[in-house]
């Protein structure tokens, strides 16, 4: 009996509660929601599909910078190419150094009676150190190049996801002077919604 009364009471109290409210600036037509965007109404599906994150990811993976162009962030394209070209240039520099000094090292190893290399004047121990350093730096910058390539793909993907969000024009952040309750003056970081 108590369970039945409790169930009826819970149903009676919970009846006016709704789990979802429709905003007053949105209009429901059949199964889609329209957003008042300025002076025109845009379907929520059309608004969300303007920038497909998977397309941005795919374009950026095929051609670096293409995902940024798809997202209409044209200012990022020179940054992507400058970063990639710079890192590839550094990898090539260290690779050329490794090849050059490795040849000189092999020359020293093949001619053990020569104490120094006539080309560079370096000893075998010095050349081993230089070859190891050049190889390590080349590998390090090759990994950084790969990470930068992945980073530009992730940037395009995340940027396409963030296009779905509208920013409230009334929201702003300011640093203002303030008076603390203790009577001391200071700066306050205020956020207005």
Mean pLDDT of all residues in 104-123: 73
Write the DSSP symbol of residue 167. P
Percent of the chain with pLDDT over 90: 38
What's the per-residue H, E or C state across 2-38?
A: HHHHHHHHHHHHHCCCCCCCCCCCEEEECCEEEEEEC
> Is the pLDDT confidence value at 35 over 60?
no
pLDDT-above-70 percentage for the chain = 64
More confident residue, 104 or 157: 157
Q: Where is average pLDDT lowest: 70-74, 90-94, 159-163?
A: 159-163
Residue with tokens 């590998």: 139
CA angle in degrees (0–180, nearest 5) for 43-47-49: 115
pLDDT tens per residue, range 73-83: 999 999 999 99
* Arithmetic mean of pLDDT over the chain: 78
Strand partners, 173: 191
Decide: residue 168, CB within 10 A, 0-12 exposed, 13-18 middle, 19+ buried.
exposed
Per-residue pLDDT band at 23 (split at 50, 70, 90): low
Q: What is the pTM of this model?
A: 0.62
- CA pair distance 25, 36, nearest whole angstrom: 6
Domain map (residue ranges) of the chain: 52-162
> What was the pLDDT predicted at 192?
67
């Amino acid at each position: 009996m108590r369970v039945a009364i409790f169930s009826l009471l819970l149903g009676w109290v919970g009846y006016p509660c709704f789990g979802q409210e429709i905003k007053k600036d949105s209009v429901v037509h059949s199964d889609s929601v329209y957003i008042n965007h300025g002076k025109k109404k845009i379907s929520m599906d059309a608004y969300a599909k303007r920038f497909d994150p998977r397309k941005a990811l795919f374009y950026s993976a095929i051609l670096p910078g293409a995902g940024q162009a798809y997202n209409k962030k044209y200012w990022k394209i020179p940054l992507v190419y400058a970063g990639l070209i710079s890192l590839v240039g550094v990898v090539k520099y260290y690779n050329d150094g490794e090849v050059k000094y490795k040849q000189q090292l092999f020359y020293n190893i093949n001619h053990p009676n020569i104490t120094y290399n006539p080309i560079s004047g370096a000893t075998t121990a010095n050349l081993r150190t230089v070859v190891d350093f050049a190889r390590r730096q080349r590998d390090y910058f090759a990994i950084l190049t790969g990470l930068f390539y992945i980073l530009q793909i992730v940037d395009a993907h995340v940027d396409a996801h963030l296009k779905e969000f509208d920013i409230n024009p009334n929201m702003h952040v300011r640093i203002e002077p303030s008076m603390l309750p203790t009577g001391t003056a200071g700066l306050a970081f205020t956020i207005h919604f």
